[in-house]
C-alpha cells in the first residue's frame, strides 16, 4: 500500500515546482503564429509566457536579424543565405505568409524590434546561432535598447560564442544548449552523445550560468544533483507534451520552453 505521507509530500513538491517554473515561448508562440516574427513574440507575451525565445544571425551588412535557419527558404520561400544578404534584401521578404494568409506581410525582425516588446519584469532568451563574430554588434544592440541582464539571457549551442559573451557582456546570464539523440544500438559507428558530466565540465570551464537541454536527455535525479552541485541552472526545450513537461518539472527545471505557452500552462494547472 502506498504511504499517504509520501504521496502528500510528492503533491506538495510538484505543486511548488509547477508554480515556480517559467514557461518560455519557443520562437514566440510559434504553434499559432509564424516563428521568430513580431507577431509570434507578441502572441507569446499575450499568452502569458514568462519569457520569449528568439534566434539571431548576422546579415552581410553587419546587422542582427531574427531567424532560426541560416537560410531564408523555409520561412520566406526565398532561398537566400543570411550572411550573403543585406538587411534591405532580407526585409523585403515575407516571413508570415507561409503560416497563413492572416500573417502576410510579417518581416524578419531586427533584434531591437523583439527587445522593444519585452514587458517589464519579463525576459527574452536570445539564441545566438552564429560564431563569436556577432558579439560586438549584439552588444551594441543590447546597449542601444537598454537591455540588461534582467531582461535578456543569452543561449547558444556554440561554446566559443558563449565564451565571447562572457568576456564582452559578463553580467549577462548564459545557458549552454545541448541536444540529445540516443545512440543507434545497431550501428557501432554511430556518434555517441556526450555525457552530462562532459557538458557540466564544459559549461563550468566557460563560466556559464547553466544548461538548457533537449527534452530527450535521459537525465536521472542523480544527474540533476550533479548539475546543481556544480552551481549550474537547469532548463529544458522544446516540450509540447504535458506529460514530458511534468517529468522535467518534477526533476526541478527552472524553465520549460514550448511552442504552445498558453496551452501548456493550462494543461499543467493542478
Ligand atoms: O530554446 C532552445 C531551442 O530553441 C534550440 O533549438 O533548433 O529550436 O533553435 P532550436
Ligand atoms: Ca532557438
DSSP 172-230: SEEEEEE------TT-TTSPPPPPHHHHHHHHHHTT-SEEEEETT----HHHHHHHHHT
Would you call 238 exposed, middle or buried from its count of C-beta atoms within 10 A (0-12, 13-18, 19+)? Answer: middle
Mean pLDDT of 73-86: 98
- The reported pLDDT for the residue numbered 247 is 96
Nearest CA owner, ligand 1 atom 1: 237
> Distance, CA 8 to ligand 2 centroid (Å)?
37
**What CA–CA distance (Å, rounded) separates 124 from 25?**
9
Side-chain half-sphere of 5: how many Cα atoms within 13 Å? 0
> Distance, CA 208 to ligand 1 centroid (Å)?
18
**Contact call for residues 218 and 205 (beta carbons, < 8 A):** no
What grid cell was written down for 4?
499517504
- The reported pLDDT for the residue numbered 1 is 55
> Distance, CA 129 to ligand 2 centroid (Å)?
8
For 140, the 3-state DSSP assignment is helix
Mean pLDDT of 100-109: 98
- The string of pLDDT tens digits covering residues 165-197 is 999 999 999 999 999 999 888 888 888 889 999
Mean pLDDT of 73-90: 98
CA of residue 6 relative to chain centroid, distance: 34
User: What residues contact residue 255 under an 8 Å CB cut-off, 6+ apart?
Assistant: 21, 22, 23, 24, 50, 51, 235, 236
Percent of the chain at pLDDT > 70 equals 99
**Contact call for residues 126 and 155 (beta carbons, < 8 A):** yes
**What CA–CA distance (Å, rounded) separates 200 from 161?**
17
Which one of 238, 240, 257, 259 would you pick to mutate in the ligand 1 pocket, going by the greatest count of ligand atoms within 8 A of its CB?
238
Compute how many other C-beta atoms are within 10 angstroms of the C-beta atom of residue 14: 15
- The reported pLDDT for the residue numbered 185 is 81
Atom of ligand 1 nearest to the CA of 212: 2
Which one of 68, 128, 158, 216 would you pick to mutate in the ligand 1 pocket, going by the greatest count of ligand atoms within 8 A of its CB?
68
Atom of ligand 1 nearest to the CA of 129: 9
Radius of gyration of the chain (CA): 19
Mean pLDDT of 226-233: 98
Question: Could you tell me which of 161, 141, 142 has the C-alpha nearest to residue 151?
Answer: 142
Query: Is residue 89 pLDDT above 60, yes or no?
Result: yes
User: What residues contact residue 8 under an 8 Å CB cut-off, 6+ apart?
Assistant: none
- Write the Ramachandran bin of 28: left for phi over 0, alpha for psi from -120 to 50, otherwise beta: left
Between 39 and 15, name the one with better pLDDT: 39
How far is residue 182 from each of residues 157, 188, 196, 218, 238, measured CA to CA in Å?
18, 13, 13, 9, 17
> Distance, CA 4 to ligand 1 centroid (Å)?
40
Confidence of residue 18 (pLDDT cuts 50, 70, 90): confident
Nearest CA owner, ligand 1 atom 2: 237
**What CA–CA distance (Å, rounded) separates 113 from 232?**
30
- The reported pLDDT for the residue numbered 190 is 82
Mean pLDDT of 137-165: 98
257 within ligand 1 shell (Cβ under 6 A): yes
217 within ligand 1 shell (Cβ under 6 A): no
Q: What integer best gives the mean pLDDT of the chain?
A: 96
- The reported pLDDT for the residue numbered 98 is 98
Does this model's pTM top 0.85? My answer is: yes
> Distance, CA 68 to ligand 2 centroid (Å)?
6
Atom of ligand 1 nearest to the CA of 27: 4
CA of residue 124 relative to chain centroid, distance: 9
Amino acid at each position: 500500500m502506498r504511504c499517504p505521507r509520501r504521496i502528500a509530500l510528492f503533491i506538495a513538491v510538484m505543486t511548488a515546482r509547477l508554480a515556480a517554473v517559467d514557461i518560455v515561448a519557443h520562437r514566440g508562440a510559434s504553434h499559432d503564429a509564424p516563428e521568430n516574427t513580431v507577431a509570434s513574440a507578441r502572441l507569446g507575451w499575450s499568452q502569458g509566457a514568462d519569457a520569449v525565445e528568439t534566434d539571431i544571425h548576422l546579415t552581410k551588412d553587419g546587422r542582427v536579424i531574427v531567424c532560426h535557419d541560416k537560410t531564408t527558404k523555409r520561412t520566406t520561400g526565398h532561398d537566400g543565405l543570411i550572411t550573403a544578404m543585406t538587411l534591405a534584401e532580407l526585409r523585403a521578404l515575407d516571413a508570415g505568409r507561409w503560416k497563413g494568409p492572416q500573417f502576410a506581410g510579417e518581416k524578419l525582425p531586427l533584434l531591437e524590434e523583439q527587445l522593444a516588446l519585452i514587458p517589464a519584469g519579463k525576459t527574452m532568451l536570445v539564441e545566438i546561432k552564429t560564431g563569436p563574430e556577432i558579439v560586438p554588434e549584439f552588444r551594441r544592440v543590447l546597449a542601444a535598447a537598454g537591455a540588461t541582464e534582467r531582461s535578456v539571457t543569452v543561449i547558444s549551442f556554440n561554446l566559443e560564442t558563449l565564451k565571447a559573451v562572457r568576456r564582452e557582456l559578463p553580467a549577462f546570464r548564459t545557458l549552454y544548449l545541448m541536444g540529445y539523440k540516443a545512440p543507434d544500438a545497431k550501428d557501432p559507428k554511430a556518434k555517441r552523445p556526450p555525457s552530462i558530466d562532459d557538458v557540466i565540465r564544459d559549461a563550468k570551464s566557460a563560466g556559464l550560468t547553466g544548461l538548457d537541454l533537449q527534452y530527450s536527455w535521459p537525465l536521472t535525479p542523480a544527474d540533476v544533483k550533479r548539475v546543481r552541485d556544480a552551481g549550474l541552472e537547469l532548463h529544458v526545450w522544446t516540450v509540447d507534451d504535458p506529460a514530458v513537461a511534468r517529468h522535467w518539472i518534477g526533476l526541478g527545471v527552472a524553465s520549460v520552453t514550448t511552442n504552445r505557452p498558453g496551452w501548456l500552462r493550462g494543461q499543467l494547472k493542478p
